[in-house]
Structure formats: C-alpha cells, structure tokens
Amino acid sequence: MTLDDAAPEPLDETPPALGVDALLDDPGTRIVVCCGSGGVGKTTTAAALGLRAAERGRKVVVLTIDPARRLAQSMGIDELDNTPRRVPDIKGEGELHAMMLDMKRTFDEIVEAHADGERAAAILNNPFYQSLSAGFAGTQEYMAMEKLGQLRSREEWDLIVVDTPPSRSALDFLDAPKRLGSFLDGRLIRVLMAPAKVGGRAGMKFLNAGMSMMTGALGKLLGGQLLRDVQTFVAAMDTMFGGFRTRADATYRLLQAPGTAFLVVAAPERDALREAAYFVERLAAEDMPLAGLVLNRVHTSGAAQLSARRALAAAENLSEAGIVDLEDGKADRGDTGSGANSPAEQAGSDDPVPAAGATGTATEDQGSPAEGPSVDEITAGLLRLHAERMELLAREQHTRDRFAALHPEVAVTEVAALPGDVHDLDGLRTIGERLAASGAEEAAP
Amino acid sequence: MSRFQVVSGKGGTGKTTVAAALALALATAGKRTLLVEVEGRQGIAQLFETAPLPYEERKIAVAPGGGEVFALAIDPELALLDYLQMFYKLGGAGRALRKLGAIDFATTIAPGLRDVLLTGKTCEAVRRKDKAGRYAYDHVVMDAPPTGRITRFLGVNEEVAGLAKVGPIHHQAQAVMRTLKSRDTAVHLVSLLEEMPVQETVDGITELRAAKLPVGRVMVNMVRPEVLDEAALRRVRETPPRAALAKSLSAAGLGGARRGGGAERLVTPLLEQAGEYAERFALESGQREVLAGLDLPLHELPFLAGGLDLAGLYRLAKILRKQGVA
C-alpha cells in the first residue's frame, strides 16, 4: 500500500444505490434479515432499521440474537428477553418492539406447545435435552429460525427485522432446516429410536444385523446410559419432529418469498468485504432475495482536495522550521502510541513527532500561550491526522472497488463512521438517517 | 509459558491475526508450534498466503532462529472418523455410521459434539509426545471461537463428561478438561479500544473465571498511533487559532491564508477531523483504563496501515516477543 497522491476518484461503475426508505416503506416487505460477519455493526444496523421503519409508520419487531446490553439500553429496555417488548418514545404512529432470542426458552416453549403434559415433562427433564437446549453451537440457528417463523405466523407485526447469529458462518442459519431435514429423513434416527420404541427381544427381529452392530457401537462410544438418554429423548421428541421439520421448511420458504429482503452488512475492510462477497454468492445460490449491501463505518473527509502526500510534506516543512528555532523542550509529548507502523513514519520522515517548543511563522501575531504547543506544531499535527485519514479513505475505496467489480449488481448504502458507539434512540436515529441517505439522493429528481 | 494458548475475541478484533502472530512469536528460537483453526474459515491459509489447508498438520512458516510453525485446520467430520479409528477401533462401524448419516449428525446436528471433537483433537496435539518422550510441539495456539462462545466451547467436555457417565467418551472428555484447566493452558482475549469489544472482553473474563478456565492475557489489537497530544487537542477544541492556522498552512505551501484561499479552506475540515480524533482519543483512553483495571497482562499491537500481509504478521510477532509473550 503506498500513499495515494490524489483523492480517490469516483468509480465509473458506481454501484446502484440501495433505497432503504423505499424498502422499509413498502408494505410488501415483511421480513428484513441482516447478515454479515462479526463486528461490522449488524445488530446496531438491525435496530436502526427497525426504529426508522417504526417512525415511518410501520409496526415493527426487531429480533436480535446476541445484542450488547448497551444496545438494549439504547432502546430504553433494561433487559431484552424472549418476549417482544414495546420500545417507548417512538415518534409517529408506528410501533417498535424488540426482543432477544433465548434459545432454551424458545426450545422449551416448542416442547410445551407440541407435547402433552407428561411427555413434555419427560423431554424437559431429559439430561440430553437440557444440554442440547442450553445452546451448544448450532442450537441458536435452529431456534432463530423457529422464532422467526413464530413471529411471522402471529401476524401481529407488519415488519420483522432479524439479526443473524454470530456463528462460524452466519449462513448456518440457512442450513438449519436442511440439516434437520436430512437428519429426520436419515436412517440414524430410526436406529436411535428403534430400541426404545420396540424394546425387548421381540423388537430385535426388526433390526437387521447392521443396525444392531450400530447400536452396539454407539453404546460403546457413548456409554450405555447416555445412549439410553438420547434414545429416550428421540422417542419422546418423535411426535414433535415432524412439526419441527414442517415449520423449518416453511420458514426456509418464507425467506425465499418476495416479502423477504436480505441485507448483507459489512465494513469497508478486506476481511469483512470478503465475507460479504461470500454471503452474496450464497444467497444467490439459495434463491434468497438480496436487497443490497450496507457498508458501515465509511470515512469521509471535508478536505479531500489535499492528498496524503502533500499533507505530510507540508507537515514536515513546518516541523523542520520548528527544529531550526528550537528553544527549549518544555512541551512534554507523552508518546504512548506504538508508532512503529504509523504512516507518518513510513512516509520517510526521520522525526515524525514535531520537535518540542517549535515556533514558527504564525505564532507571534496570535499570542500563542507560553505553555503548550505552538500553532505550527498544531498545524503539523492536523496535517498528519489528515494524511492518516486520506490513507484510510484510499484503502476503503480500494476494497469497495474490488467488491463492486466482482458484484456490480449489488445495491449499496454507505453509513458514515461515527466516532463513538450508540447509546440512545437518537444515536440509532442518526444511523437510520445515514442508512437512508444514499438511496434518497438517488431517488431525488 | 503455557504450552496450550487459546486466542479468542469479539468478531472483527483480528483474533486470527493475533493467534498467527503469537504462533510465530512462540516459534522463534528453534521452537516448534502448531497453529490450529477450528472454524473452517481458512483464515490461516489466507494470512500465510498459502493454499487452503487440508486436515493435516503441515509446515506453513519458518520463524527467525530456525523455529517452525505448523498449521492444522480441523475438519470435524474427518476428526470424528479419526477418533473412531484411533481410540475405539471402529473402522468398519465408522463407515457404517457415515452411511447412516451418523457422522453428519454428530458433526453438524448434534450440537456440542462438534466442539468436543475440535477441543479433543487439539488437546491430543498438545499432549502428543514422540518416541523419545519429547512433546511433538513446544506450543499449540488455537484460533478459537469468539468470546461469546468461548466458555461454552472449552467447557463442552465437562458437559459431556456429565452426560456420558461411563465409557470411553467420558474418559476422553475428562482428560481434555484436565488439560484445559491446568497450568498448561492460557486463554487470551483480543480486544479493540472500543466499547463493545471491551465490554465483551470483561464479560468473557468473568465467564471464563466462573468456569475455572485459566485466563491469560488481554491483547489490544489495531492500536492507532497518537498523532495529536492532549495539549494540542485542548487547544484546537477550546480556542482554535483559526487565522493563525490558516497562515501556518499557507506558510507550509498549501495556498492562500485569506478568506477563500486554499489554506483557509482547509481550516474548518481539518479542525473537524481533529474534533473526531479527540472524541475517539477520549473514548480510547477510557477503554484502556477499563482493560487496565482487569489486572491481567495487557499487550498492545499497532494498527498496520497498509492492511495486514505476511510481513506485517512477522512484525506483530516481533512486537509480541518484545513484550515478553514468548
């Protein structure tokens, strides 16, 4: 990566703008799924979209999977749980509800709803079930799908915004129904269920040799008691499995239906955009409707006309002037940053830190305070800061161009970076405005 | 120095990078390390600029001083068959299990078993010795699942040992837990100087400690250098000497200082950027204090402006060594 001399030029193939407001306002949009790799602001994006849709008059529920406590608080809710809670202080006619997926609760509810009392108790008390439902890798994906299906079938909201689990690959979410299906179609479940179901010697007649070898092997591997737990569990769940599967298939189809829109969330960084490209390809392969890419934390500069190189050269000029006039060393620079890789140093300046006590052309007439840095020092610092910003811009532009070249059809909305985190509804509103901004420009005549 | 070092962190903090740099740092001076990937992302191959890794321990880098870094991307399905073969002599039955969909079940559907296999296979590499009784690897570094899942991931064998009260799985699970809770293991968390990653780090440490898993170090990644110090920031925020700045910019050759001149037009955007920097600077200082309050060894790794490449990885490894992690 070198220092780019000029400001990043606009692309010829600028990606189409994603009209967020049009998407949120369309009564046909019933589900918005936010997916993307970890740490790109997926959950915050989901919350901001939900808030914006609500304040534009829709009745919205946001299903988050693993939100930071702070995000719940920013919506005025102390603790999010498995039941949608209405978010107070929403402007306008719409409503915003928010909830957080509780895997165990969701699983328990399914059991309670689909099995009679005695059977439900047998399942809920089964040790294998208890471990399974407490949320090993994988359970979250099934339960997120289940919850989404539940929310949709209640017809209480006209828009559901879903955040996806922070799993190995967020698209495990999509694989959940298929895996469940292939498991339920498989012979394994019959093997597991056979002994518990038929039991005794009479049952053995129905098992072929291979199968009895199998249960033998499983018993050896798992230990007899665990195998019995698993078998009891599978037998008890037997009647419910069909329902699971039907619902999972239905949810999968729901995701493919026209009322659903997927948004891939990313930041303009190499790894995040690489994952985003993967999501885009996977969604296409699964016939899932992609609405576009949300690019969070994009940086801008009001002084883009000044290139990084010129800014650094100018900063160096000022610093050198300061060294000549060096008087004393009272300005104490606490150089705590690990500057070994600072772009300023790489740019070839031997002394990237302005010398202490520098004086210069502009200090006299401004009555610069006797203590503290001189104006030239400050100017040099501002210029270095700007150079850093321009380099960041150039890198971001480069990764975005790469994505746009590979996926020119994907509509994009860019969200300018905020210096801090979101703490309240106003913060979410600001993000919502930024989300909608690029599409609005496009729509204007 | 712990022989097994687990690297976790919130998504987006660069835990794969830190794990790789740590493996390199530990390999320096003739040591041999194994870098293990468990999430099937092939992040290690990308970092080391090699072809995707197969399920096989393979040398991927040479460290300064003749050390070697091996890498292993664990494939849960193959790991299971491996296990069945090695420990339970279930070769034929293993194939039958596969036909029945049991392998698929075990590695994808039965939640938890995947984690058992990943931790089990890694611990096997940690404990493995050659014929002379020396450890096969001086250190094993794992690029582990994110902070939100790490305690459950590492604790999975405890759960399994509780579920399967007898039999080989029970013993296996117990052996893995013994390794994980011993002084041989350290769990490091990677963070950024931002609120959410720091909060997750704090929560993660609480969880790890509650589960009696050994917490190692906190690695703050992508730390940006200080460009403007506090005195300068105060000045530009409180009483920005706008006219003097314009003159100074002009003197540096950036156009006229008068209203509408090239230098003058730079003042407002540059001050804006300084304002944003100040806000971030204050936020970062606050987060740094939170992390310092954790009372754990704290390391800072610089942000690499050019994006991370192989050279950058070696640089980070060198910094880690200087900071005494290896």
- Statement to judge: residues A254 and A322 lie in one domain: no
Residue B245: which of A168, A225, A378 has the nearest Cβ? A378
Note whether B104 contacts A182, CB cutoff 8 Å. Answer: yes
B42 or A429, which is more confident:
A429
A309 or A39, which is more confident:
A309
Contact call for residues A189 and A183 (beta carbons, < 8 A): yes
Contact call for residues A404 and A13 (beta carbons, < 8 A): yes
pLDDT, one tens digit per residue, over B12-65 is 899 999 999 999 999 988 899 999 999 877 889 989 989 999 899 999 999 988
The C-alpha torsion from B52 through B57 and B62 to B64, rounded to 10°, is 130
Contact call for residues A38 and B10 (beta carbons, < 8 A): yes
- Statement to judge: residues A368 and A261 lie in one domain: no
- Statement to judge: residues A151 and A181 lie in one domain: yes
Note whether B229 contacts A224, CB cutoff 8 Å. Answer: no
Contact call for residues A57 and A293 (beta carbons, < 8 A): no
Which two three-digit tokens encode residue B73? Answer: 């991307």
Q: Which of B248, B254, B285 to mutate to test binding with chain A, by most A CBs within 10 Å of its CB?
A: B248
- Statement to judge: residues A56 and A92 lie in one domain: yes
Chain B CA closest to residue A346? B305
Note whether B111 contacts A39, CB cutoff 8 Å. Answer: no
pLDDT of A349 strictly over 60: no
Give the count of Cβ contacts less than 8 A between chain A and B: 290
Nearest to B223 by CA among B247, B203, B198, B256: B198
**Distance between CA atoms of residues B272 and B141, nearest Å:** 43
- Statement to judge: residues A315 and A278 lie in one domain: no
Contact call for residues B216 and B187 (beta carbons, < 8 A): yes
Q: Is residue A6 part of a domain?
A: no
Q: Is residue A362 part of a domain?
A: yes
CA dihedral (B22, B24, B28, B33) positive or negative: positive
- Statement to judge: residues A294 and A367 lie in one domain: no
B13-to-A240, A321, B191, B194 alpha-carbon distances in Å? 41, 40, 6, 10
Last residue of a domain, one of A260, A278, A298: A298
Q: Which domain holds residue A360?
A: 308-391
- Statement to judge: residues A269 and A382 lie in one domain: no
The CATH number covering residue A66 comes to 3.40.50.300
SS3 (DSSP) at B188: strand
Which two three-digit tokens encode residue A86? Answer: 């209405």
CA dihedral (B233, B235, B238, B242) positive or negative: negative
**Extents of the domains making up chain B:** 4-224+303-322, 230-280
Q: Which regions of A110-259 does DSSP assign to beta strands (E)?
A: 159-163
Q: Which residues contact B204 (CB under 8 A, 6 or more apart)?
A: B8, B147, B148, B150, B151, B189
| Angstroms from B273 CA to nearest CA on chain A | 7
Contact call for residues A301 and B273 (beta carbons, < 8 A): yes
Q: Which of B89, B109, B284, B315 to mutate to test binding with chain A, by most A CBs within 10 Å of its CB?
A: B109
Which two three-digit tokens encode residue B191? Answer: 């963070």
The secondary element (H helix, E strand) that includes residue A54 is helix A42-55
pLDDT of A12 strictly over 60: no
The C-alpha torsion from A375 through A376 and A378 to A382, rounded to 10°, is 130
CB-CB neighbors (< 8 A) of A70 in chain B: 195-196, 199
- Statement to judge: residues A257 and A329 lie in one domain: no
In 10 A of CB B224, how many CB atoms? 20
Chain B CA closest to residue A225? B164
| Angstroms from B26 CA to nearest CA on chain A | 21
- Statement to judge: residues A116 and A169 lie in one domain: yes
Last residue of a domain, one of A391, A420, A437: A391
Alpha carbon A318 to its chain's center: 43
SS3 (DSSP) at A301: coil
Q: Which residues contact A122 (CB under 8 A, 6 or more apart)?
A: A232, A236
CA dihedral (A11, A13, A18, A22) positive or negative: positive
Residue B306: which of A1, A366, A372 has the nearest Cβ? A1
Lowest mean pLDDT among A121-125, A263-267, A376-380, B284-288: A121-125
Contact call for residues B222 and B303 (beta carbons, < 8 A): yes
Q: Is residue A5 part of a domain?
A: no
Q: Is residue A373 part of a domain?
A: yes
Reported confidence tier of residue A73, pLDDT bands at 50, 70, 90: confident
pLDDT of B83 strictly over 90: no
Q: Which of A132, A225, A325, A378 to mutate to test binding with chain B, by most B CBs within 10 Å of its CB?
A: A378
Nearest to A373 by CA among A328, A337, A338, A339: A328
Lowest mean pLDDT among B90-104, B253-267, B305-319: B90-104
Residue B276: which of A187, A372, A419 has the nearest Cβ? A419
pLDDT for residue A189 = 63
Nearest to A25 by CA among A104, A94, A121: A94
CB-CB neighbors (< 8 A) of B276 in chain A: 419
pLDDT, one tens digit per residue, over A153-176 is 889 999 999 988 765 555 666 776
- Statement to judge: residues A28 and A166 lie in one domain: yes
Residue B12: which of A39, A341, A375 has the nearest Cβ? A39
pLDDT for residue A170 = 55
Mean pLDDT of the B290-312 span: 90
Nearest to B73 by CA among B115, B43, B94: B43
Note whether A137 contacts B226, CB cutoff 8 Å. Answer: no
- Statement to judge: residues A58 and A134 lie in one domain: yes
pLDDT of B116 strictly over 60: yes
Residue B248: which of A139, A217, A379 has the nearest Cβ? A379
pLDDT for residue A9 = 52
Mean pLDDT of the B188-217 span: 94
pLDDT, one tens digit per residue, over B206-242 is 999 999 999 999 999 999 888 888 888 988 888 899 9
The secondary element (H helix, E strand) that includes residue B41 is none
B4 or B230, which is more confident:
B4
Mean pLDDT of the A362-369 span: 43
pLDDT for residue A352 = 41
**Distance between CA atoms of residues B326 and B323, nearest Å:** 8
Q: Kindly report the CATH number that applies to the domain delimited by B4-224+303-322.
A: 3.40.50.300
CB-CB neighbors (< 8 A) of B300 in chain A: 338
For chain A, how many structural domains are there in total?
2
**Distance between CA atoms of residues A327 and A345, nearest Å:** 24
pLDDT, one tens digit per residue, over A192-213 is 665 544 444 443 444 445 555 5
A248 or B14, which is more confident:
B14
Lowest mean pLDDT among A207-216, A256-265, A273-282, B201-210: A207-216
Exposed e or buried b per residue across B71-88, where buried means at least 16 C-beta atoms within 10 angstroms of its C-beta: bbbbbbbbbbbbbbeeeb
Question: How many helices (H) and strands (E) in chain B?
Answer: 13, 8
Exposed e or buried b per residue across A225-262, where buried means at least 16 C-beta atoms within 10 angstroms of its C-beta: bbbebbbbbbbbbeebbeebbebbeebbebbeeebbbb
SS3 (DSSP) at B63: strand
Percent of chain B with pLDDT over 70: 90
Q: Which residues contact B136 (CB under 8 A, 6 or more apart)?
A: B32, B34, B125, B128, B129, B130
Reported confidence tier of residue A369, pLDDT bands at 50, 70, 90: very low
Q: Which residue has the tokens 């161009």?
A: A401
Q: Is residue A408 part of a domain?
A: no
- Statement to judge: residues A369 and A256 lie in one domain: no
pLDDT for residue A345 = 39
pLDDT, one tens digit per residue, over B125-177 is 999 999 999 999 999 999 999 898 899 889 888 887 777 777 777 888 899 99
Q: Which residues contact B179 (CB under 8 A, 6 or more apart)?
A: B4, B123, B126, B127, B185
| Cβ neighbourhood burial of A155 (10 Å; 0-12, 13-18, 19+) | exposed
Q: Is residue A380 part of a domain?
A: yes
Note whether A131 contacts B163, CB cutoff 8 Å. Answer: yes
Phi and psi dihedrals of A193, rounded to 5? -80, -25
Chain A CA closest to residue B247? A362
Which amino acid does the sequence have at A79? E
**Distance between CA atoms of residues A224 and B164, nearest Å:** 8
